[in-house]
A and B are shown apart, each in its own frame.
Chain A
Amino acid sequence: MYDVIIIGAGVIGCAVARYLSAYDADVLVLEKNEDVCAGTSKANSAIVHSGYDAENGTLKARFNVEGNCMMDELCRELDVPFERIGSLTVCTDEGDIPALEELRQRGINNGVEGLRIVRRDELLSMEPNIGDDVAAALYAPTAGIICPFKLTIALGENAAVNGAQFKFDTEVKKVYREGGLWHIVTDDAEYTSRAVVNAAGVYSDIFNNMVSTRKLNITPRRGDYILLDRSVGGYVRHTIFQLPTKLGKGVLVTPTVHGNTIVGPTAYDTEDREETATSADGIDSVIAKSAISVKGLPTRQVITSFAGLRAHEDGGEFVLGEAEDAEDFYNCAGIESPGLSAAPAIGKYTARLIKDRLQLGEKADFIKERKDILDPSALSIEERNELIRREPAYGTIVCRCESVTEGEILDAIRRPLGARSLDGVKRRTRAGMGRCQAGFCSPKVMEILRRELGVELTDITKSGGGSYIVSSRTKDGD
């Protein structure tokens, strides 16, 4: 029996696990994919919102602003790249400035600091490539950019180090209460726990609806993005949003913490909770809309496009806390934007609720810090040579586009909740994330995975499940 079972190892599930692992509790995280950060958490804008956007008094507003405030310290503790670069929400019509002012006021009410309206002249000095028609912008200096993979992985890893257990490739089929305990039925086992956390992303309504009469309805809302090569990094310096108009919500253009530029998203409601296929129309519209706020964006430097699903609940609001009619069943449902920004606050809040209810004590030996995979490029030549002498694998470059060494890949595989697939390695080290998109390094990474995991090359997957890379030996093979 566990004290708490968390359904889902996305950024929310991992955040809850991490904060819960500070208490004396047996925590189990069940994830249907082969790794943490395999759903919505991996495909989003990779930004931390300032918090002016959500309506006053909403959970979205509260947890966004709280999460934003927590980011510096948390990312320091967990060694996650986070930069407060600020956001600019631009309008192209002087007549829209009152709307920016309204957003500013809303932000102030939400507790966002430093908001101000900037006019075109100042804007040009902040953002030289701003669109020719842009008239003004709402500047939010507390907005930032973050690596969502690294944040989720770090939260999960830190929870694991502090005793939380993770079971991957494990899909929860049924949740029911019996004998004062929660029973969680998976494809191959049944677990019991005192409390359940529903952090199942686009599936969170399903689990809520199994146990509560207050039904939720999640609509997966697909967003297409394009990612530009680092060679055009620095084209914009802030996260640039477009003020929503009658014509639609617009797209954002933002640098990433790794120096790429991300553009998107679209918004298409779907029924399929796994429909992460991009569409030609979607990609075209992202490119077309970006021109409103940023001129001459080098969209020919696209290295990849992708789509993510937002878990949009009918109420348009986060659903947090204990379900009214299901004791010790804690929802973290309907987590769409600004979910990534809010994740630390949601994790901390949910963990507190459970701690108080289950009367959990503080863990005396809680380890709150975690070091990320060593980045050799941050070392001096002398330090780097010392490292290579000690561990020669740091002298071999495996991914030439992102300069990732074998040492980093080995670390990614060997550390707690280590990588078991090409995507797992990619999200931890960036190997394969560069301009050649793993063309050169994938055979090498496959070989390292095969060696480290002690499996056959035919067992290696791109991202778990049936995503095998090679099917069989050639005629002459073996």
Chain B
Amino acid sequence: MNKAYDIVIVGGGPAGLAAAIAARESGTQSVIILERGEQLGGILNQCIHNGFGLHTFKEELTGPEYAHRFIQKVIDMGIEYKLDTMVMDISPERAVTAMNREDGMFVIDAKAVILAMGCRERPRGALNIPGYRPAGIFSAGTAQRLVNIEGYMPGREVVILGSGDIGLIMARRMTLEGAKVKCVAELMPYSGGLKRNIVQCLDDFGIPLLLSHTVVDIEGKEHITAVTIAEVGADRRPIKGTEVRYTCDTLLLSCGLIPENELSTSAGVRLSPITNGPVVNESLETSIPGVFACGNVLHVHDLVDYVSEEAAKAGQTAARYAQGAVEKGGREIEIHAGGGARYTVPSTVCIDRMDDRLTVRFRAGDVYKDAYVSVYFDEARVMRKKKRIIAPGEMEQIILSREQMKEYPDLKTITVKIER
């Protein structure tokens, strides 16, 4: 089996689905989604809580409902997809090697590839938490799958380390299932999750959030029996004498998400050391021509709505590329993250290729109150927006306008800054 498609989309989660629909709407017929799971929708299928789609559909949907709207559209449009299919390799020439039970191993030559593989959770091992390595320690997403898809409880007495959104959601979910969630400990002095999740998942259930705390010991040789939590100082090292022991039979970890870019790396795509995702231009094209990226494989998002929006953009630009309609060359302007902003996506923009407006997303490295988001065109400040609060857990965005950029013919660098 050796096939050719205009666009191969790696991953059938929210990013892959939205990219596929947009690619088709942009006039590319030959599109295929390769999904490793047994159904389309990706991680949304296990996110049975509501709160999805407020921006996109102006209503509150559950994860599966949100996914369903896109899946239905993919089916209605007759877009091809293969389930239980793992992409094993992507070559720099965009030959995609994949495998499943029915077709075996096969290669698809693609005019354009859209990377939409999502992200994975940081495991216990990567956190260097000392102590035993018993059963009962789960990343929050694994526990979410066990509870929501398999219908099994990991345990009844829960401690959560890390205040990422999945951890917060699981604090509520486990509570609703009758478990006692004793606390959520967060190493940083601020939460990594959305404010609304802290309110709705912790505060509403009286679950304490211990900022600047971490797990310093895990007890239990076969199954976890207790953890010790200590306060950490400004250096994030535990402070002696602050240790408190919590008995528990479950420890959930929600300590960060890592874009899953092993395939991108094998294709030679350049990654950002900050986002761990590909470095992309205004078209969401990576360092390899014709390879695009969107969703959590590009950078970790908080809201699926923005994933869909970003992925649609990647679908459009990939379609344009596959149709050979992309202007080559053009002057690239760098977009820098300065003072307080950790990164920007995209990191370059070409005026000749960009649409009238370009959304630039970024995250802050710290919590800022009553600060300004500023945009500089070289030395000139062209935008200044006051924000009551800017936090690492909430992605920020600014919109660049082509008209405005044209007013600066010598423009070399655009800088996004957070200023007090």
Contact = CB atoms under 8 A, between A and B. Distances in A.
A467 B105 contact: no
Contact of B223 (A401, A467, A473, A476): A467
Given A470-B152, A470-B154, A304 B125 contact: yes
Contacts of A278: 130-131
A110 interface: no
A435 B126 CA distance: 8
Nearest to A397: B86
Interface in B195-246: 216-219, 221-223, 238
Interface string A30-50: 000000000000000000000
B339 interface: no
A231 B149 CA distance: 32
A439 B123 contact: yes
B101 interface: yes
Interface string B125-160: 110101111111001011001110111111110000
A466 interface: yes
A467 B151 contact: no
**Closest 7 pairs between A and B when the two form their complex, measured CB to CB:** A304-B125, A477-B151, A437-B123, A385-B104, A462-B135, A467-B135, A470-B152
Contacts of A476: 151
Contacts of B178: 475
Scoring B103, B124, B141, B223 by chain A CB atoms within 10 A of each residue's CB, the highest score goes to: B223
Given A388-B104, A474-B153, 16 more contacts: A276-B132, A277-B217, A277-B218, A277-B219, A280-B216, A388-B105, A395-B101, A395-B105, A439-B139, A462-B134, A462-B135, A464-B222, A467-B134, A469-B136, A471-B156, A474-B152
A227 to B, nearest CB: 7
Contacts of A462: 134-135
Given A278-B131, A443-B150, A303 B126 contact: yes
Interface of A: 226-227, 231, 274, 276-280, 282-283, 302-306, 381, 384-385, 388-389, 392-393, 395-397, 400-401, 403, 435-440, 442-443, 447, 457-458, 461-478
A313 to B, nearest CB: 24
Contact of A471 (B132, B154, B265): B154
B153 A473 contact: yes
B84 interface: yes
B100 interface: yes
28 contacts: A227-B125, A231-B265, A276-B221, A277-B217, A278-B130, A278-B131, A282-B130, A283-B128, A303-B123, A388-B101, A395-B99, A395-B103, A397-B86, A397-B99, A400-B86, A403-B86, A438-B142, A440-B142, A447-B150, A462-B135, A465-B222, A466-B135, A470-B153, A471-B155, A471-B156, A474-B153, A477-B152, A478-B151
Contacts of B155: 470-471
B249 interface: yes
A274 B222 CA distance: 10
A471 B249 contact: yes
Nearest to A398: B86
B118 to A, nearest CB: 10
B247 to A, nearest CB: 15
Interface in B283-303: none
B135 A463 contact: yes
Contacts of B132: 276-277
Contacts of B219: 277
Contact of B146 (A304, A396, A470): A470
Interface string B289-322: 0000000000000000000000000000000000
B218 A469 contact: no
B382 interface: no
Given A276-B132, A280-B216, A283-B130, A474 B151 contact: yes
Interface residues of B, number: 52
A440 B126 CA distance: 15
Contacts of A435: 120, 123, 126
A439 B142 contact: yes
Interface of B: 36, 84, 86, 88, 99-105, 120-121, 123-126, 128, 130-136, 139, 141-142, 145-147, 149-156, 177-178, 216-219, 221-223, 238, 249, 262, 265
Nearest to A467: B135
Contacts of A443: 142, 145-146, 149-150
Nearest to A396: B101
Contacts of B142: 438-440, 442-443
A440 B103 CA distance: 23
Contacts of B131: 277-278
Contact of A393 (B101, B149, B217, B222): B101
Contact of A400 (B36, B103, B221, B249): B36
Contacts of A477: 151-152
A460 to B, nearest CB: 10
B152 A392 contact: no
B128 A305 contact: yes
Given A436-B120, A443-B142, A474-B147, A280 B130 contact: yes
A469 B101 CA distance: 28
A277 B219 CA distance: 8
Contact of B105 (A306, A384, A465, A473): A384
A393 B36 CA distance: 14
Given A470-B146, A470-B154, A305 B125 contact: yes
A284 to B, nearest CB: 9
B340 to A, nearest CB: 23
A435 B261 CA distance: 12
A239 B326 CA distance: 51
B304 to A, nearest CB: 19
A440 B120 contact: yes
Given A283-B128, A439-B120, A474-B153, A467 B222 contact: yes
Contact of A436 (B103, B123, B154): B123
A231 B261 CA distance: 11
B157 to A, nearest CB: 10
B135 A461 contact: yes
A302 B126 contact: yes
Contact of A475 (B88, B104, B149, B177): B177
Contact of A303 (B103, B125, B135, B136): B125
A131 to B, nearest CB: 22
A392 B104 CA distance: 8
B222 A439 contact: no
Nearest to B124: A437
A458 B153 CA distance: 9
A121 B84 CA distance: 52
A440 B249 CA distance: 21
Nearest to A457: B152
Contacts of A464: 222
Given A381-B105, A465-B222, A439 B130 contact: no
B101 A468 contact: no
Contacts of A395: 99-105
A277 B31 CA distance: 51
Contacts of B126: 302-304, 435, 437
A302 B128 contact: yes
Contacts of A440: 120, 142
Given A276-B132, A439-B120, A466 B145 contact: no
A477 B141 CA distance: 19
Contacts of A396: 84, 86, 100-101
A436 B121 contact: yes
A289 B210 CA distance: 33
B135 A469 contact: yes
Contacts of A447: 150
